[in-house]
Amino acid sequence: MGRQKQVRFADNQEKYNIVQVGKESFGKLKGRWSERHFGNNNPLIAELGCGKGEYTFGLAQHHSDHNFVGVDIKGYRIWVGAQACEAAGLQNAAFLRTEIENIDMHFGQGELAEIWIPFPDPRPKGRDEKRRLTSPRFLELYRQLLVPGGMVRLKTDNRPLFDYTLEQIAQIAHTDLRYTFDLYNDVLLEEHLGIQTNFERKYLGMGQPIHYLRFNFS
């Protein structure tokens, strides 16, 4: 392990805004994030596969009346987001270090108001379909964790994953589906408040269109 990672991992253990194995709060916030961690009753929004937490940080800046939790297994990445939130004095943003398939161990039924999935691993191989974050098993998991009628948002450069996701949504009960194959030439861009991930900047620089969709469970 490189020295920078060692330093970040050690720092993560000291940061209040990172919840991970080894901390007293890990596994004990299910259904009570806003009350126990944030100290309020504001709506809770999760960013899955948050990486460096660009959306957790950016959304928390724009929406002080909501709480945000970025979820990722890569501790050296979430350190970046946690550090940025600390530097900006954001009290409504936190990070959870865990595998996404285990989020039902950390969030309660109906606890989330929205779920953001920015640039997930597309898992292109057929045998990895169940690991796609918009596969049927994950969509059912999101349905359980979201408030009734809760929203899911996906942002990706990968057209096969985007098409796959639209196919899966068509098979479940949903409302208010809106999508675009070219976000930067669509009015839906307004919903992103100028927030971009590292991956997004990379793909935009390559001239690749960004796909985006959102829908509510019904």
Sign of CA dihedral 56, 151, 191, 132: positive
Hey, what are 207's tokens?
């001239």
The pLDDT value recorded for residue 1 is: 60
DSSP letters of 168-212?
HHTTS-EEEEEEES-GGGSGGGGGGTT---HHHHHHHHTTPPPEE
The pLDDT value recorded for residue 66 is: 98
The pLDDT value recorded for residue 8 is: 87
Judge whether 213 and 178 are in contact, CB under 8 Å: yes
Q: What are phi and psi of 157, to 5 degrees?
A: -95, -10
pLDDT tens, residue order, the chain (218 aa): 677 888 788 888 999 999 999 999 999 999 999 999 999 999 999 999 999 999 999 999 999 999 999 999 999 999 999 999 999 999 999 999 999 999 999 999 999 999 999 999 999 998 999 999 999 999 999 999 999 999 999 999 999 999 999 999 999 999 999 999 999 999 999 999 999 999 899 999 999 999 999 999 99
Mark 136-162 as b/e (b = at least 16 C-beta within 10 Å): eebbebbbebbeeebbbbbbbbbeebb
Q: What are the domain boundaries of the chain?
A: 3-217
Q: Which fold has domain 3-217?
A: Rossmann fold (3.40.50)
Hey, what are 42's tokens?
């504001």
The mean pLDDT of the chain is 96
Q: Could you give the residue numbers annotated as active site?
A: 121
pLDDT per residue over 6-25, tens digit each?
A: 878 888 899 999 999 999 99
The pLDDT value recorded for residue 200 is: 94
